[in-house]
Structure formats: structure tokens, C-alpha cells
């Protein structure tokens, strides 16, 4: 028994080492003890934390601040249970994590940002850093999922923290959550975001230009506030964002008979009717995007994939078989946009038109609901 365990463990370690050698590199955690006195803490009162892989050579003064994702908690019960997880307590966070994709330190895997200072800020306030804020020469604020939303909500505030004259841009990966009705016709995500904003007292940390006009809960949706963002920002998002399909379009409460269950796990298993519903969701997504306006400083990479977060995983960021839009990888589109080599604003044709997609297939166990 112990022998088998050891072999299993050694195998795991070997796999991990091979993975590290080819793609990631582990980076240690730093806790921000000072923040506790300022009240900038995780849900359980523990200090916030980040991982920092230092820049080298030409990148030594450049900064990429990437915010971790992880959904939101919408009431005292769900926020309390979050304190028992790494998403609510820094005591439970891994002390080392692998940096890959846009965080990779290897030129081959991340040609434009590999030598920058790359920071991954751990997410533990349950409210996309609107509950209480702590924050940072060229600089990028990026993030995926709830972290992508953070990057949208706080882009201009981040800009204001960085010295004048520095080139600052934001990157939101899978952060463009839309206010769509679910398959039962209910406003599920709208109600959920209103609860998040009320529970965390987020209203005062959302854009006043938005909260002065509409309900604060709505200002958590990029479509109602992102047109106000002054700083250049790039949106990387799958038109069929798998988190949004699972939690906004077809959440468990809207699908009591589980008709959507296998479709949500694997887009290939969706019925023609479900695909039709998802095509309609894509149109709503594109319509929500048009509210951004047409500023050329905005970047758009909207692929026809069933995916969620594509900048942090090497396979979707930059690899021989990574997703392409107009023959361009996400790494190249973002790099060219950041360095003003060329703008990028492209929206893919509808599913299943793009053969380069890495459509996610989920395990039955790994099926997070809201």
C-alpha cells in the first residue's frame, strides 16, 4: 500500500517536473502583512498575497500584474464557506504556483513579456477586489475570470497609481460577463451580482459615472461601465465562454431536470436546440460588446471556442496548436497591441467554424456552479 502510494507520488512528481521543464516554473508566495492594519484583507482576515517572478535584462522595469480569478460569493453564508478555501484565506493558498502562458519566464512561450516583472495577485475577497482595495515603468493589469473583471473594474484606478508617462494598459481575459437571461427566462446573474455588490458594500468602489446613473449591481457588468474606461484595454474572451454558459445561461437552478448537464461539460454533446440557444447567447454577447464603442486603443480577440481563460494556459496562449483568429495567436495579438505594432479587433465566425479552438471538456466532478 505504502509502496504503491510512493510510486504514485513519484510518478506525479515526475509528471510535475516534466511539466515544469517544458512549460511552467514555480514561484513562491509573499504575504502582505502590512495590509492587515489597513483593513485590506482576505475574507477570513488573513493577509492578501501575491507571487512575483522578478524581471531581468530589458524587462527589469516593466510590470505585469495579473489577478487570479475564482467567482464571487453573494451572501454571508457563501462568503463564510469561502473562508475555508484558498479563495477566502491566504492561509490555505499553495505556497508555490506554476507560471505559464502570459506569466511564463521563457521567451519561447511568452516572447513579449517573459523578461518583465510578472506578479500574480491571489484572489481572496470574493468580490473582484471591490470589497476593499490594495494595489502598484510600463505596466499591464491583467487577470482572468473574476480577475479579468477586476482588471476591467479597476483599470483606470490602476493607471492612476502608476507614475505619469508610463505606458499602462489592461488585459481582461474571460472577464466580460454579460447580463443575459438564463434558459428559464430568469435574470439569474443580475440578481446574483446585485447580492455580491450588496454583501460586500462594493458600490463605493465601482465607477461613479456608472453608479450615479444605474443600480450599482448593474455596474458590476462590463457592458454598463466599460465604455467609460480611458486606459487602453484588451478583451480576450470566448464567444461561448464556458463559465458563462454554465452559470449565466444554463445555471443549475434554471435547469432542474439537468437537460443541459452533458452539453455544459462538452459542447460536442449539445443538441441542435442547445446550440441554437448558445448561438443566441453569442449574439447577445456581441451586442454587449458593441457598447464599448470603436476606439482603436481597444483590443478584441473573441474566438468561437468553448473556453474560459485563455491567456494563462500555455496551450491557448502560445503553442504550435494554439487557437488562432485571422491566423494570429492570442500571445501575438496582445503583444502587438501592447507595443503598438498593430491593433487587433477581431470577432470569430460562429461555432463550429474555427478548427483551432481548444474546446474545454469538463469532468463531471469539476463543475463549479455559482
Ligand X SMILES: *[C@@H]1O[C@H](CO)[C@@H](O)[C@H](O)[C@H]1NC(C)=O
Which positions are catalytic? Answer: 145, 241, 308
Q: Which stretch binds ligand X (CB under 6 A): 8-16, 41-49, 73-81, 103-111?
A: 73-81
Instruction: Please select the residue that binds ligand X; options are 75, 137, 259, 279, rule is CB under 6 A.
Output: 75
- What separation in angstroms does the CA of 290 have from each of 172, 293, 300? 16, 6, 11
By Cβ distance, which residue is nearest to ligand X? 75
Closer Cβ to ligand X, 74 or 104, answer by number: 74
Q: Answer for the pair 346, 326: CB distance below 8 angstroms, yes or no.
A: yes
Phi, psi of 47 (to 5 degrees): -70, 150
Q: Positive or negative CA dihedral for 211, 215, 216, 221?
A: negative
Q: Answer for the pair 359, 307: CB distance below 8 angstroms, yes or no.
A: yes
Please give the DSSP secondary-structure letter assigned to residue 245: I
Query: How many angstroms separate the CA atoms of 68 and 243, rounded?
Result: 15
Q: Could you tell me the smallest distance in angstroms from the CB atom of residue 70 to ligand X?
A: 15
Instruction: Tell me: does residue 187 bind ligand X (CB under 6 A).
Output: no
- Longest Cα separation, the chain: 65
Pairing of strands 233-238, 299-303: parallel
Instruction: Tell me: does residue 209 bind ligand X (CB under 6 A).
Output: no
Residue 51: which residues within 8 A CB-CB, separation 6 or more?
Answer: 27, 28, 29, 30, 96, 97, 99, 119, 120, 122
Query: How many angstroms separate the CA atoms of 296 and 363, rounded?
Result: 40
- What separation in angstroms does the CA of 305 have from each of 63, 289, 325? 29, 17, 11
Q: Could you tell me the smallest distance in angstroms from the CB atom of residue 77 to ligand X?
A: 5
Q: Could you tell me the smallest distance in angstroms from the CB atom of residue 255 to ligand X?
A: 15
Question: What is the four-CA torsion angle of 34, 121, 244, 363, rounded to 10 degrees?
Answer: -110
- What separation in angstroms does the CA of 273 have from each of 161, 250, 259? 48, 13, 11
Instruction: Tell me: does residue 247 bind ligand X (CB under 6 A).
Output: no
Instruction: Tell me: does residue 194 bind ligand X (CB under 6 A).
Output: no
Q: Could you tell me the smallest distance in angstroms from the CB atom of residue 192 to ligand X?
A: 6
Question: What is the four-CA torsion angle of 289, 247, 236, 292, rounded to 10 degrees?
Answer: 20
Mask 106-135, x = binds ligand X (CB under 6 A)?
A: ------------------------------
Instruction: Please select the residue that binds ligand X; options are 77, 228, 271, 273, rule is CB under 6 A.
Output: 77
Instruction: Please select the residue that binds ligand X; options are 29, 52, 78, 181, rule is CB under 6 A.
Output: 78
Count of residues binding ligand X (CB under 6 A)? 5
Q: Which stretch binds ligand X (CB under 6 A): 23-31, 59-67, 69-77, 202-210?
A: 69-77
Closer Cβ to ligand X, 78 or 227, answer by number: 78
Q: Which stretch binds ligand X (CB under 6 A): 34-42, 70-78, 258-266, 325-333?
A: 70-78
Q: Which stretch binds ligand X (CB under 6 A): 20-28, 74-82, 116-124, 232-240?
A: 74-82
Instruction: Tell me: does residue 262 bind ligand X (CB under 6 A).
Output: no
Closer Cβ to ligand X, 177 or 301, answer by number: 177
Q: Positive or negative CA dihedral for 243, 244, 245, 249?
A: positive
Closer Cβ to ligand X, 18 or 191, answer by number: 191
Instruction: Tell me: does residue 74 bind ligand X (CB under 6 A).
Output: yes
Closer Cβ to ligand X, 162 or 370, answer by number: 370
- Using CB under 6 A, list all residues that contact ligand X: 74-75, 77-78, 370
Amino acid at each position: 500500500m505504502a509502496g504503491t502510494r510512493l510510486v504514485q507520488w513519484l510518478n506525479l512528481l515526475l509528471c510535475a517536473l516534466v511539466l515544469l521543464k517544458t512549460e511552467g516554473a514555480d514561484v513562491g508566495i509573499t504575504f502582505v502583512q502590512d495590509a492587515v492594519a489597513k483593513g485590506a484583507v482576505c475574507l477570513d482576515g488573513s493577509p492578501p498575497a501575491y507571487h512575483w517572478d522578478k524581471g531581468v535584462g530589458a524587462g527589469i522595469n516593466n510590470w505585469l500584474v495579473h489577478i487570479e480569478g475564482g467567482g464571487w460569493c453573494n451572501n454571508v453564508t457563501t462568503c463564510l464557506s469561502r473562508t475555508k478555501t484558498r479563495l477566502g484565506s491566504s492561509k490555505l493558498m499553495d505556497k508555490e504556483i506554476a507560471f505559464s502562458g502570459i506569466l511564463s519566464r521563457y521567451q519561447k512561450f511568452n516572447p513579449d513579456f517573459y523578461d518583465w516583472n510578472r506578479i500574480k495577485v491571489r484572489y481572496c475577497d470574493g468580490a473582484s477586489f471591490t470589497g476593499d482595495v490594495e494595489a502598484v515603468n510600463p505596466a499591464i493589469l491583467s487577470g482572468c475570470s473574476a480577475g479579468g473583471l477586476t482588471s476591467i473594474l479597476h483599470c483606470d484606478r490602476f493607471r492612476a497609481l502608476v507614475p505619469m508617462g508610463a505606458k499602462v494598459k489592461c488585459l481582461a481575459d474571460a472577464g466580460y460577463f454579460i447580463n443575459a437571461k438564463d434558459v428559464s427566462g430568469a435574470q439569474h446573474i443580475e440578481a446574483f451580482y446585485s447580492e455580491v455588490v450588496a454583501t460586500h458594500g462594493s458600490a463605493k468602489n465601482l465607477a461613479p459615472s456608472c453608479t450615479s446613473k444605474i443600480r450599482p449591481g448593474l455596474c458590476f457588468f462590463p457592458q454598463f461601465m466599460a465604455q467609460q474606461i480611458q486606459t487602453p484595454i484588451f478583451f480576450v474572451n470566448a464567444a461561448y465562454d464556458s463559465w458563462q454558459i454554465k452559470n449565466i445561461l444554463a445555471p443549475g437552478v434554471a435547469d432542474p431536470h439537468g437537460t443541459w448537464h452533458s452539453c455544459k461539460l462538452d459542447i460536442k454533446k449539445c443538441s441542435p436546440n442547445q446550440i441554437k440557444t448558445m448561438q443566441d447567447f453569442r449574439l447577445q454577447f456581441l451586442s454587449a460588446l458593441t457598447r464599448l464603442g470603436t476606439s482603436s486603443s481597444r483590443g478584441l480577440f473573441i474566438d468561437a471556442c468553448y473556453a474560459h481563460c485563455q491567456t494563462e494556459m500555455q496551450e491557448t496562449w502560445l503553442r504550435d496548436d494554439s487557437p488562432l483568429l485571422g491566423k494570429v495567436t492570442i500571445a501575438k495579438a496582445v503583444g502587438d497591441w501592447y507595443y503598438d505594432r498593430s491593433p487587433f479587433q477581431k470577432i470569430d465566425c460562429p461555432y463550429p467554424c474555427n478548427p483551432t479552438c481548444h474546446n474545454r471538456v469538463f469532468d463531471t466532478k469539476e463543475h463549479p456552479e455559482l
